[in-house]
Amino acid sequence: MGDYKNVTVERDGPVALVRFDRKGNRNAFNQETILELTDVARRFQDDLEVHAVVLTGTQEAFSGGIDLKERSTRDEDAEGDLERRQVYYRGVKLCQAWEDMPQVTIAAIEGMAVGAGIALPLALDWRVMGKDAFLYVPEVKIGINLQWGALPRLVTLVGPARAKRICILCERMGSAHALDWGVVDELAEDGKVVERAMEMAREAASMPAPAVRMVKEAVNATANALHKAVSYADADQSQLSSSFTSAKSESDKFVKKTG
């Protein structure tokens, strides 16, 4: 399934394991990885043999978020406004492609899931998290909005007050907290997260596939009915907020602090 640099796909009958690994940088998303994961999701959409897909990063980090060093040169590299806007919307299209997959999708989260590293799992059906892993949404802290269509998905899972607290106070969230608030669905021992997610995937894949796909589509149509309407311009907002003086200052500080 494609020739990728940062993504591997392993098939085991009706179940597939998709793993992305930047080989460093806290497994942060660069543009290459975003495009590869989007292509994987789109290829699965017409797959009638695979019925459940597990997505994971590395044991050290599901993902440290967007690669801020690459992000800082994004506007300079774009040749025009349309190309710049297209780049900003790649994360939105990535998450939408995974949400649109007909298979049951499960995120296996080890280590950390930061910013965009949370946005992508929110687009999947279920999330399994390591007991010592943590979630962190730092976007407001660095002066930008949470995009990739993540905000309405988060509100649907945890409610408006908790979504505001997660995004505005930028508090690191441990696994027990994430489970209690409904951000994740199950915890597993560290190092066993993928194994547990694969068990769930096999169980889902053992069910009659047409019925599973119909139920998933019906639930998504109900729960996500207004998601696109309320987040359709979040990438444009991200491009705008990135130009704010506060965002430039805080983003530089964040990059220096996190390396």
| DSSP 8-class letter at 131 | T
Tell me the pLDDT tens digit for each residue of 3-28.
899 999 999 999 999 999 999 999 99
Where do the DSSP E strands lie in the chain?
A: 7-12, 15-20, 52-56, 104-109, 112-114, 126-130, 134-136, 173-174, 186-188
pTM of the model: 0.93
Tell me the pLDDT tens digit for each residue of 205-215.
999 999 999 99
Q: Identify the structural domains of the chain with CATH numbers, from first to last.
A: 7-192+208-258 (3.90.226.10)
Tokens at 58, concatenated: 């590395």
Amino acid at 99: E
